[in-house]
Amino acid sequence: MSASASRMSDREDPRLEAAQKRLRNSVDQADTLEAIREIVTNLLGCEEIGLFNVDQKSNGLCWSFGIDPNQHGTLAVFEDSGLQRVLQGEFHVAQTVGEVGCVKTPLRVFVPIRANGRTVAVLVMLKLLPQKLEFDEADVKLVHLLSDEVGRALFEENANGNA
């Protein structure tokens, strides 16, 4: 597929269009976090979400939905999940063998949140819904959009506010 054709199909993807519009129209930090929850729940199929700051100290949980903050206080609990690659800016899907046959079911998704050319936070989708059996190309595009737009909305200069 040519680059222009790819861009055209991106523009025509209702999920990408809705997610981008929702994030760009968010009015403050709380609304941006609500937009993240809506996008991850409704468009990606996950109701257990954590947003972790990336810093020199604790890499601590700064916002969450549907998880126990006491059990997921820091990114350190995910050390065996390809975290280093995520911190370098790659998104990562940790897979496990599903219950039905040998279908691989996504278990956890790690999304680097990028601002000013570096990873400033990591969005972790801890457990995808049972009916969400695959993480396809369209999901990957949506994850890339989250990586850029959430960083812009929460962490860049003139953003809605630091998470």
Residues lying near another protein in the complex (CB under 8 A): 12, 14-15, 17-19, 21-22, 35, 38-39, 41-45, 47, 129-132
- Dihedral of alpha carbons 53, 60, 30, 113, sign: positive
CA–CA dist 157, 60 (Å, integer): 22
CB of 19 to another protein, least distance (A): 7
Beta-bridge partner residues of 74: 60
Q: Smallest distance from the beta carbon of 89 to another protein, in angstroms?
A: 25
Nearer to another protein, 60 or 98 (CB): 98
Nearer to another protein, 76 or 140 (CB): 140
Beta carbon nearer to another protein, 16 or 75: 16
| Neighbour-count burial of 12, counting CB atoms closer than 10 A to its CB (0-12 exposed, 13-18 middle, 19+ buried) | exposed
**Token pair belonging to 122:** 């990591």
Work out how close the CB of 50 gets to another protein at its nearest, in angstroms, rounded to a whole number. Answer: 18
The Cα 49–Cα 25 span in angstroms is: 21
**Minimum CB–partner distance for residue 73 and another protein (Å):** 26
- Give the strand pairing for 92-97 and 61-65: unpaired
Nearer to another protein, 15 or 118 (CB): 15
